[in-house]
Amino acid sequence: MTHFQRFLGTDTKSRYEIFWIWGGVKTSPGVWGTEDLMILRNSCYLPNKNSEATQSMSGHRNIKRRCGDSHLESPVVCGHGPAAGCVLSKLVQLPTPPLSKHQLKRLEEHKYQSAGRSLLEPLMQGYWEWLVGRVPAWIAPNLITIIGLLINIFTTLLLVYYCPTATEQAPPWAYIACACGLFIYQSLDAIDGKQARRTNSSTPLGELFDHGCDSLSTVFVVLGTCVAVQLGTNPDWMFFCCFAGTFMFYCAHWQTYVSGTLRFGIFDVTESVLCTVAMQLLTGTLGPWFWNYTIPILNIQVKIFPALCTVAGTIFSCTNYFGVIFTGGVGKNGSTIAGTSVLSPFLHIGSVIALAAMIYKKSAVQLFERHPCLYILTFGFVSAKITNKLVVAHMTKSEMHLHDTAFIGPALLFLDQYFNSFIDEYIVLWIALILSLFDLLRYCVSVCNQIAAHLHIHVFRIKSSSAHSNHH
């Protein structure tokens, strides 16, 4: 019997320290042999296959308590895969768990609350019910959401490829593909919750995952719309429309953080998405020239009307959002659900927009005008990251901290301009884009893995017991 076999047979009071690093084990020399390490490695990858180990541990956590923290099982990346999978998992996960034990505890207690119904939602319910009935019961709700998001991103990036400055003309099929991709995402996003209830697999992770995907989709939706109407010819309008979209989405969750309830208006996400789909189809059918047509009497281009509608929608939505925010929260003395100031979330989105505006206006090489799509994506990823943190703060009833690695990319652009563009701004923009995307993915993967491990579920797979019970 080896050292590790004796260890597995002891009770839970054993004090061996084991660190899981890159699919291997780091421990004091001379204590563990090669055979020990192989046993440990196999036990960590296949915890349910070692019945002796399972029996010696407390409850369902089995070998995971000995092997480190909740990153061990890595439901998103590793699963039960080979060591190379865990190497990838380590690369895209934070070095320390993003959520504390108290946050995880409050997450378990979280209950989803919503109020209101948009204008077209009742009409769409029949279609959504029909659609979810065609989805196999073994498909996880989060898998439905992520498939829709990837389709939306891919079709929008096709449009961006043909129109990098939002002034070019793409092939008609690219606009139609973008419209179809957005409609598919809207449809799949609407049925993920229905699939969760249908398969008895509703969890707080599902709500968080849904809102997280929406935060990223918002960036691509507003960008695709601006490209379709060639709003790059009016950079100020394009800047406003893109950041207004991300700001309104952030405010929707800001008021939820204050009131504890996600509220829907008469004209909400469903209506906005369908209008965007119609605009994309119109561009694909008639061509982008339609939006450049100048109305004789008003002497303005048709493309300005969607921008003016964005202004009206922003004013209308923000009036409702801030009406809730300034009324006072559900916390002590009118504070947020976490007991913090109702105005505290403004610092985060305000910093993003302020940095974006300053860099846009101070650029000596007209960075935004020449590369609007890259610029919007860079700051869009930053906005998506802080929106995700706001959703997490709401669901865990915790405080949002201003210092965040999401601001590294924008800070590089700001510092480069401060030092008279010591490095080409275009190069720094690409660096900021990559850093912002990596930071967003790293945070999302880490949060999903930690919550999934804590709740003993899989991110993209339904437990066989749930699917089986629903099927019968």
Helices and strands (H and E) in the chain: how many = 20, 6
- Which entry of 71, 80, 211, 458 is annotated as an active-site residue? 211
- How many Å apart are CA 439 and CA 404, to the nearest integer? 10
List own/partner pairs for 410-418 with CB under 8 A and 24 or more apart: 410/352, 410/355, 410/356, 410/359, 410/378, 410/379, 410/382, 410/436, 411/355, 413/355, 413/359, 413/367, 414/355, 414/358, 414/359, 417/359, 417/362, 417/363, 417/364
- How many Å apart are CA 462 and CA 138, to the nearest integer? 6
Active site residue 211: yes
User: Are the CB atoms for 371 and 426 separated by under 8 Å?
Assistant: yes
User: Are the CB atoms for 377 and 433 separated by under 8 Å?
Assistant: yes
User: Are the CB atoms for 226 and 232 separated by under 8 Å?
Assistant: yes
| Residue 147 vs residues 13, 153, 264, 423: alpha-carbon distances, Å | 45, 10, 25, 38
For residues 166-193, one letter each, b for 16 or more C-beta atoms within 10 angstroms of the residue's C-beta and e for the rest, the string is: bbeebeeebbbbbbbbbbbbbbbbbbbb
- How many Å apart are CA 26 and CA 24, to the nearest integer? 7
User: Are the CB atoms for 63 and 47 separated by under 8 Å?
Assistant: yes
Best CA proximity match to 417, nearest among 365, 348, 354, 353:
365
Query: What are phi and psi for residue 420, nearest 5 degrees?
Result: 60, 45
Q: Which residues are catalytic?
A: 211
